[in-house]
Structures are given as C-alpha cells and as structure tokens.
Amino acid sequence: FHKTSLIVALRHPIDFFRSYYNFRHYHKYPNFQFDDPNELIGPCSDETMSVCTDHARFHEYLAKFGKTNMTSTEELNLLKILTKGKKHPKDYEIPSKILLVEQGQMIDDTELFRQDLKSFLNLQYDLPPMEPPTRTSLDKFPDAEKREGFIDICEEKHKDVRAELLQNGKDAAQWIREFFMASEDVFVSSRDDFLERLKSWEVDPCDHV
C-alpha cells in the first residue's frame, strides 16, 4: 500500500466540529449528550466518542505522514503530538503522494480541479462533473427527537468552543502552508485558490452570519 496515492479532504475546523457533533449526537442518541459543548474543549476521551476540539487539529494528523522535518522550533511549537511516551511522527513515515483538498474545492467542482485530480491519479480519461448533494438535512436526520440536541455553533454560548477551534484552524493553516506544502510529495489544486481557502480558517464564519 506504500505506493497508493492519497487524497485528503479538509474543512474549516468550526464547520467540522458542528457537523461532527450533530452527527454523533444523532447516531449515538441517547448515549452522546453534552449540555455544554465547552466540555469538549481539549483532547478527546472515550466518553466524548472522538468529538473534541483537538480532533480539529488537522495538522497533527497530517504530521504523521512524515512529510516534514519536524526539527525547527517554529514547527514543533505548532504541534502538540510530540509528547513523552508517544511515537515520533517520523516513525510513521510513508512514501505515498498526497493530494490535499479543501472541501470548498470539491463543492465548487471546477474543470481545473477535475483536471488536477485526473493528473494526480494518472487517469487516461476526463472526470465528469461531481454530482451535487441532493439529500437535505431532514433526509439525513429524519428523527425529530434525536435532532433536539443539535447545536447551532454560532450561538453566543459557544464562543469559547469557536475560539479554540479558530486557534486550531490558524495553527493548521500555518503548518500546512509553511511546512506540509513544502514537501515534494504533497500536491494541491490551484495553489493560490487553496491558500485563500486556508486563510478563511483564520476567520470565524459566524461573524458573517
């Protein structure tokens, strides 16, 4: 599997947390219920079923591909995973090529994006336009009782969670931009467009609601 090309899709950490929290709440109801999502700030535990703000520190998962040096103080300061008793990410190093995609690029689905995807996968044929999602929220979550615990992440009471997720987004965007994308094994479609989307991770989307 070491020759497999990988496609990794990412999204804004605040949007990711909202979506994952509501997904877990619905599908694990009534076992997953947190009256105050502020309880989920920090690392995950068995009780939180992988829902926590640290789960949105995407760069710490990407670091495990071993594509960066992880020797500079600046890079190490962005990572929390280099703690005593844990394997160094370089121990996981794999030679796979990685195409990094921001979710918005898939949603916009430009011809250039499809061409870059074709090139990365070494396909001999053009990719057709992606099918737009047709399922509504009610289609995915039809049970009204289970939906009662869904959060609106933009509510004022969730500002501390958003602040933590926003910092995670800033750290992830910086690490991806300055370190991960410097690897010859890491590719992105439309570099300027990708970087602009990464920059949006440094802004609270709720400020524009």
pLDDT value of position 19: 95
**Token pair recorded at residue 25:** 């709440």
Q: Which residue has the higher pLDDT, 79 or 17?
A: 17
What's the CA gap between 185 and 9, in Å, rounded? 16
Q: Which two tokens stand for residue 60?
A: 């710490």
Residue 41 token pair: 């700030």
Answer whether 157's CB lies under 8 Å from 69's CB. Answer: no
34 has a pLDDT exceeding 90: no
| Residue 68: per-residue pLDDT | 93
Check the CA dihedral 68-64-48-30 and report its sign.
positive
Q: What is the pLDDT of residue 87?
A: 59
Q: What is the pLDDT of residue 62?
A: 95
pLDDT, tens only, 110-150: 999 999 999 999 999 999 998 877 777 888 899 999 998 89
DSSP state of 10: E
Residues 6 or more apart whose CB falls under 8 angstroms from that of 159 comprise none
For the entire predicted model, the pTM comes to: 0.91
Please choose, from the candidates 15, 3, 2, 9, the residue with its C-alpha nearest in 3D space to the C-alpha of residue 200: 15
